Chains A and B, each alone.
Chain A
Amino acid sequence: GNSVTQMEGPVTLSEEAFLTINCTYTATGYPSLFWYVQYPGEGLQLLLKATKADDKGSNKGFEATYRKETTSFHLEKGSVQVSDSAVYFCALGGGATNKLIFGTGTLLAVQP
């Protein structure tokens, strides 16, 4: 079945450091890929998405490229801020219902 494997955390970075959170997937067909973020005390919200191979999703300085050849959707940001501290979830969606399958989540802590 479909699955998502995500880099385990926690990830601790200093402000302005480069961030990569790895995400790989296993799926049949042509899924959509998503990154969701959960800030402390808040609900889950979409950060970015890509719906087909070679698409790049971007938002708030974060980027991820849908790589079919490596079945990956790694999240990157060139310069993190303290306000980026949150839990990041990679997710795979598709099929008739578009139900989501989530990775395990990666806690990012950015220190000033």
Chain B
Amino acid sequence: SAVISQKPSRDICQRGTSLTIQCQVDSQVTMMFWYRQQPGQSLTLIATANQGSEATYESGFVIDKFPISRPNLTFSTLTVSNMSPEDSSIYLCSVNRGKNTEAFFGQGTRLTVV
């Protein structure tokens, strides 16, 4: 299993500002994933973060808007930059232990942009 801690759990931010979300895992993992869950919607993968290399972004997501850091095997950050109300979502960090294995999720960060 894996225990994932995300901070902050929620925030209300002004448009045009940036928010950095932290994800801490209780054990080393190769890959960490960042998802977005818009209100009433499913989860959409933003990017995959590997330690020591640049994150791999999914179609529709770009590094300038969602820069990601992965300084070691237990930690990652996602920044939501130059926020607008459309960025209001729950952002989730996730890890797994390899092919065909269960994914573990953090509790999520509920972001509201006003």
Which of these, A36, A46, A98, contacts B98 with CB under 8 Å? A98
Q: Which residue of B lies closest to A95 (CB)?
A: B99
A46 to B103, CA, bound (A): 7
User: Can you pick out 25 interface pairs between chain A and chain B where the beta carbons lie within 8 Å of each other?
Assistant: A32-B99, A32-B100, A36-B103, A43-B108, A44-B43, A44-B92, A44-B105, A45-B105, A46-B102, A49-B100, A89-B43, A93-B96, A95-B99, A96-B99, A98-B96, A98-B99, A98-B100, A98-B101, A99-B33, A99-B45, A101-B45, A102-B42, A102-B44, A104-B42, A105-B41
Would you call A93 and B42 a contact (CB within 8 A)? Answer: no
A32 to B102, CA, bound (A): 10
B48 within 8 A of A: yes
Give how many B residues have a beta carbon under 8 Å from the other chain's beta carbons: 21
A9 to B70, CA, bound (A): 37
Interface residue ranges of A90-109 to B (CB < 8 Å) = 93-105
Interface residue ranges of B98-114 to A (CB < 8 Å) = 98-103, 105-108
Would you call A51 and B100 a contact (CB within 8 A)? Answer: yes
Q: Which residue of B lies closest to A42 (CB)?
A: B107
B31 within 8 A of A: yes
- Smallest beta-carbon distance B47→chain A, Å: 10
By a beta-carbon cutoff of 8 Å, the part of chain A in contact with chain B is 32, 34, 36, 43-46, 49, 51, 89, 93-105
Interface residue ranges of B55-114 to A (CB < 8 Å) = 92, 94, 96, 98-103, 105-108
Across-interface contacts of A44 in B (CB, < 8 A) = 43, 92, 105
Across-interface contacts of B105 in A (CB, < 8 A) = 43-45
